[in-house]
Amino acid sequence: MQKQFTRDQIDRLEQRYRANLINSLSGFKSANLIGTRNAEGNTNLCIVSSVFHVGANPPLMGMLMRPHTVVRDTLSNLKTTGEFTINHVNSNMLLQAHQTSARYESDVSEFEQTNLTQEFSQGIKAPYVAEAKIKIGLKVKSIQLIELNKTELVIGEIIELFLPSTIIADDGYLDIEAAHSICVSGLDSYHNTSRIDRLSYAKPESQPSSIWKPPKTKDFDIC
C-alpha cells in the first residue's frame, strides 16, 4: 500500500524518526573514512556517508559536514592543515569503521581506539587507513557554507591515489565492488553490492547494451 507524507506530517514526526526517514530518501551512499591531523600532528579518523564526486578535470571531490556533530574535529583539522584523506570502507573493516563515529575526546585518536592502522605517504601529512584498498589524498580547495541549514560543503582537489592495480578496467573504471567497498542507506545500514551491468553511453536512436568486462588482471585474492 502506498503511504503519503505531506510536509506538515514530516514536520510533526518525532526527531529521530524523521532523521531516519529523511536520511533514507537520497538512496544508497558511499562509506568513507576521512583521515586528518591537527596542528600538533595528532591523527583523527571519522566515517562519513556524504562524500560525492564533483568533477574529473580538475579532479575534485566534496563532502557535506554538519559542524556540531562528531565531524567537528575533522572539520577543524582540515581547516587548520588544508589536507585530508578519503579511504573506502570495505566489508572487512566495517565494525571498526562504524566505531569511528563514537564521540571520543578530541585528544583521542580513533586509529588507536579502533585498531585501524594509520599509514603515511610522501605527498601529504594526513593519515591513510592501511586496511582500505582505495585511498585518496586531497588538499582543501574551498569550504562553502550552505546557509539553509549551516552545513559546510568541503571541496578537495585530489593530489594522489593508491589502489589495487587489479581493479582498474581498461577504460579507467574501477571495480570498487571487487575491492569490497560497501555502501550505506539511512544513518546506519551497510550493504554489499552485486553488479547488474555496465551500460553503454545512451544515444537517442539505440538501446543501451552491456559494456562490462572484468579488469584483465582481476585477482579475487586482493582483499
Footprint on residues 29-58 left by a second copy (CB under 8 A): 29-32, 49-58
Does 74 help bind a second copy (rule: CB under 8 A)?
no
For a second copy, the closer CB: 38 or 157 = 157
For the chain, report the end-to-end CA distance as a whole number of angstroms.
42
Does 218 help bind a second copy (rule: CB under 8 A)?
no
CA 214 – CA 141 distance, rounded (Å): 34
**Alpha carbon of 207 to those of 17, 128, 197, 199: distances in Å?**
41, 42, 14, 10
Binders of a second copy in range 84-103 (CB under 8 A)? 86, 88, 91, 94-95, 98-103
From candidates 38, 42, 64, 120, binder to a second copy by CB under 8 A = 64
From candidates 117, 161, 213, 214, binder to a second copy by CB under 8 A = 161
Binders of a second copy in range 179-198 (CB under 8 A)? 181-183, 185-198
Torsion region of 43: left, alpha or beta (phi above 0 gives left; psi -120 to 50 gives alpha): beta
Q: Tell the smallest beta-carbon distance from residue 78 to a second copy (Å).
A: 16
Q: Which grid cell is 182?
A: 560497501
Binders of a second copy in range 118-157 (CB under 8 A)? 123, 134, 136, 141-142, 144, 146-149, 151, 153, 155
Does 202 help bind a second copy (rule: CB under 8 A)?
yes
The C-alpha R_g of the chain, in whole angstroms, comes to: 19
Q: Tell the smallest beta-carbon distance from residue 104 to a second copy (Å).
A: 5
Nearest by Cα to 48 from 84, 92, 81, 10: 84
Does 171 help bind a second copy (rule: CB under 8 A)?
yes
- Please count the residues of this chain forming the interface with a second copy, following the rule CB under 8 A: 115
φ, ψ at 120 (rounded to 5°): -125, 150
Q: Which residues are registered as beta bridge partners of 129? A: 118
**Alpha carbon of 146 to those of 24, 65, 76, 120, 143: distances in Å?**
21, 10, 17, 32, 10
Does 223 help bind a second copy (rule: CB under 8 A)?
no
Q: Tell the smallest beta-carbon distance from residue 155 to a second copy (Å).
A: 6
